[in-house]
């Protein structure tokens, strides 16, 4: 019995060592902006810390326009592909982790959420540029890198919807802030996917209720844009548990934002109650 137990332990240890070794040697893919010069290309590879066996691919401005041209103003897209990305698959259940350098328009939370929508899973992602750029080409490079690293093919519809998510979140961020925009989109998406809501009116109701919950005021146009995006997301084959697994860090921020909002409401209410009490006392004195 003891010998059998020792064999099992040895097998588990051997499997663990093998598994760790596999992930330690996981494929690294660097997607470089096509318009970088040779010096900048080397700078990006060095910044990413990519190994000598890392695969090098390119992303072009034409590809960027293909996926974002209908949603993002050309002044934001530009005419050159500069932003670059690094993708390394991680152990299942790790989620998506994103680091950015010199990226001004697209945030790490936007990339995590949109990548999950596209079908990217359990990956370390780094996005960078040799100087400050919007980073709009980043998602295209990330998806290409993930496909190359894993051998998995992501369908065109998922790529288009994920790109629209980046654009919608970015536009929303310009009026309500990066973090609030990301948290709102993420929260609405989780609710729509979890409850399998496809009716446009019900989706719009979710948008309104979620915005109220985190104390964000939206215009009718913004509500409509988010609702239209969610209609498309509702048609993708997404699993809410997969989304939650991939968006661990973003979800934690949402909880903190909701908590802070409730605390602010409580403080404001206490102040209002105090003011009302003072006026009541003054009123009673004169009466």
Do residues 124 and 241 both lie within one domain?
no
Enumerate residues 6+ apart whose C-beta is below 8 A from 18: none
- Which of 87-91, 191-195, 217-221, 281-285 is the least confident region? 281-285
Enumerate residues 6+ apart whose C-beta is below 8 A from 95: 122, 245, 246, 247, 248, 249
Do residues 119 and 218 both lie within one domain?
no
Query: What pLDDT shows up at residue 264?
Result: 36
Do residues 75 and 142 both lie within one domain?
yes
Confidence of residue 186 (pLDDT cuts 50, 70, 90): very high
Query: What pLDDT shows up at residue 201?
Result: 96
123 strand-pairing partners: 89, 96
Do residues 113 and 184 both lie within one domain?
no
Q: Are 142 and 162 spatial neighbours (Cβ–Cβ below 8 Å)?
A: no
| Burial environment of residue 270 by CB neighbours within 10 A (0 to 12, 13 to 18, 19 or more) | exposed
What percentage of the chain has pLDDT greater than the value 90? 64
Enumerate residues 6+ apart whose C-beta is below 8 A from 59: 31, 32, 33, 34, 81, 84, 85, 137, 140, 141, 144
Query: What phi and psi values does residue 207 have, to the nearest 5 degrees?
Result: -60, -50
pTM over 0.95: no
pLDDT in tens, 85-127: 999 999 999 999 999 999 998 999 999 999 999 999 999 999 9
Enumerate residues 6+ apart whose C-beta is below 8 A from 170: 72, 76, 105, 106, 110, 181
Whether the per-residue pLDDT at 249 is higher than 70: the answer is no
Tokens of 229: 């995006």
Do residues 48 and 111 both lie within one domain?
yes
Q: What total number of domains does the chain contain?
A: 2
- Say if 180 falls within a structural domain: yes
* Greater model confidence, 18 or 68: 68
Q: What share of the chain is helix, strand, coil (3-state, %, to 5)?
A: 65, 10, 25
Do residues 127 and 192 both lie within one domain?
no
């Amino acid at each position: 019995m003891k010998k059998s137990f020792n064999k099992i332990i040895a097998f588990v240890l051997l499997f663990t060592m093998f598994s760790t070794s596999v992930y330690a040697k996981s494929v690294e893919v660097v997607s470089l902006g096509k318009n970088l010069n040779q010096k900048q290309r080397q700078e990006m590879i060095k910044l990413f810390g990519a190994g000598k066996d890392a695969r090098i691919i390119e992303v072009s401005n034409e590809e960027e326009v293909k996926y974002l041209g209908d949603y993002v103003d050309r002044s934001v897209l530009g005419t050159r592909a500069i932003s670059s990305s690094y993708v390394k698959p991680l152990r299942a259940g790790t989620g998506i982790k994103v680091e950015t350098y010199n990226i001004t328009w697209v945030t790490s939370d936007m990339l995590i959420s949109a990548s999950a929508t596209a079908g990217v899973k359990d990956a370390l992602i780094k996005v960078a540029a040799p100087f400050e750029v919007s980073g709009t080409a980043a998602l295209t490079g990330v998806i290409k890198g993930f496909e190359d690293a894993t051998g998995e093919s992501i369908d065109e519809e998922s790529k288009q919807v994920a790109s629209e998510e980046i654009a919608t979140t970015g536009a929303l961020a310009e009026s309500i802030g990066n973090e609030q925009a990301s948290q709102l989109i993420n929260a609405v998406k989780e609710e729509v996917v979890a409850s399998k809501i496809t009716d446009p009116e019900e989706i719009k109701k979710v948008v309104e209720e979620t915005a109220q919950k985190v104390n964000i005021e939206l215009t009718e146009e913004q509500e409509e844009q988010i609702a239209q995006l969610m209609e498309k997301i509702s048609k993708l084959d997404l699993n809410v548990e997969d989304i939650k697994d991939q968006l661990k860090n973003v979800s934690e921020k949402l909880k903190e934002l909701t908590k802070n909002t409730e605390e602010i409401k409580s403080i404001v209410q206490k102040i209002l109650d105090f003011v009302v009490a003072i006026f009541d006392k003054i009123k009673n004195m004169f009466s």
